[in-house]
Chains A and B, each alone.
Chain A
Amino acid sequence: DQQVKQNSPSLSVQEGRISILNCDYTNSMFDYFLWYKKYPAEGPTFLISISSIKDKNEDGRFTVFLNKSAKHLSLHIVPSQPGDSAVYFCAASERGTYKYIFGTGTRLKVLA
């Protein structure tokens, strides 16, 4: 049973436009969520996180939105840049466990 799902394997966006990556989860005990970016032949790099006490967290061009009732989170990248082209993973954990469950990833391609 996959507890964290990223249903879009890939996404293409024009440079300068908004990229929206989606993630759904099934475990209502999850209360801490993260997004990672991964380039080929490198490990995942932490981007941004959000705890369940918030519904939005912003860091520069990256904003994560959390809808607890829908068990859904999204990552917005505005404006998208060619260097954002990578695979993006969402991950979730239960409070205090520091045990993270990852989604399958969405490959973002930003077209110049």
Chain B
Amino acid sequence: EAGVAQSPRYKIIEKRQSVAFWCNPISGHATLYWYQQILGQGPKLLIQFQNNGVVDDSQLPKDRFSAERLKGVDSTLKIQPAKLEDSAVYLCASTRAGPQYFGPGSRLTVT
């Protein structure tokens, strides 16, 4: 069974630029998550999808972050415009039920 795929793995941008991350979950996993992990901290949930509907986006900074999962499969997370404090690893995870399975993450550096 293929794992969660994410791209790009690394991205460096200047502040005020935009960036998009892509995630393809494990086949058959209806629930998809985006997390932000800042160095030295645990993953922080940004948004949770069930199929293509949003379950929880209470911690998503909606003035600059957006996410979609149009066909209930893969998802994109966009940041526009980026700030220095957005430098982090963006993790995608999926589950059918029970434990989540994570992708390798996308490391964003904002200069």
Binding site for B on A (CB under 8 A): 4, 6, 32, 34, 36, 41-46, 49, 89, 91, 98-105
Contacts and interface: CB of A to CB of B under 8 A. Distances in A.
A10 to B, nearest CB: 11
Interface in B32-91: 33, 35, 40-45, 48, 55-56, 91
Interface of B: 4, 31, 33, 35, 40-45, 48, 55-56, 91, 93, 95, 97-105
B39 to A, nearest CB: 11
30 contacts: A4-B42, A32-B98, A36-B102, A41-B104, A43-B4, A43-B93, A43-B102, A43-B103, A43-B104, A44-B91, A44-B102, A45-B102, A46-B99, A46-B101, A49-B98, A89-B42, A89-B43, A91-B42, A99-B45, A99-B48, A99-B55, A100-B33, A100-B45, A100-B100, A102-B35, A102-B43, A103-B42, A104-B40, A104-B42, A105-B41
